[in-house]
Amino acid sequence: MNALRIAVAGAGGRMGRMLIEATLNDGHATLAAALDQPGAAALGKDAGEMVGTPCGVLVSSDTEAGIAQATCLIDFTRPEGTLQHLEICRRHGTAMVIGTTGFDAHGKEAIAAAARDIPIVFAPNMSVGVNVVFKLLDLASRIMDQGYDIEIVEAHHRHKIDAPSGTALRMGEVVAQALGRDLQECAIYGRQGVTGERQQSTIGFATIRGGDIVGDHNVMFCGLGERLEIGHRASSRMPYALGSLRAAHFLASKPCGLFDMQDVLGLR
- Report the C-alpha gap between 265 and 35 in whole angstroms: 28
Of the candidates 149, 139, 121, which has an alpha carbon nearest to the alpha carbon of residue 226? 149
Q: Bridge partners of 234?
A: 215
Active site residues: 156, 160
**What contacts 240, CB < 8 A, 6 or more positions away?**
15, 18, 76, 99, 125, 126, 127, 234
The burial of 205, by beta-carbon neighbours within 10 Å (0-12 exposed, 13-18 middle, 19 or more buried), is given as buried
Helix and strand numbers, DSSP H then E, in the chain: 9, 12
CA angle, 140 as apex, 136 and 144 as ends, to 5°? Answer: 175
Q: Which amino acid is at 258?
A: L
Residues 158-189 as b or e (16 or more Cβ within 10 Å = b): eebeebbbbbbbbbbbbbbebbebebeebbee
| Residues near 202 by beta carbon (within 8 Å), at least 6 away in sequence | 149, 186, 187, 188
Q: What CA–CA distances, in Å, run from 6 to 17, 21, 42, 95?
A: 13, 12, 18, 10
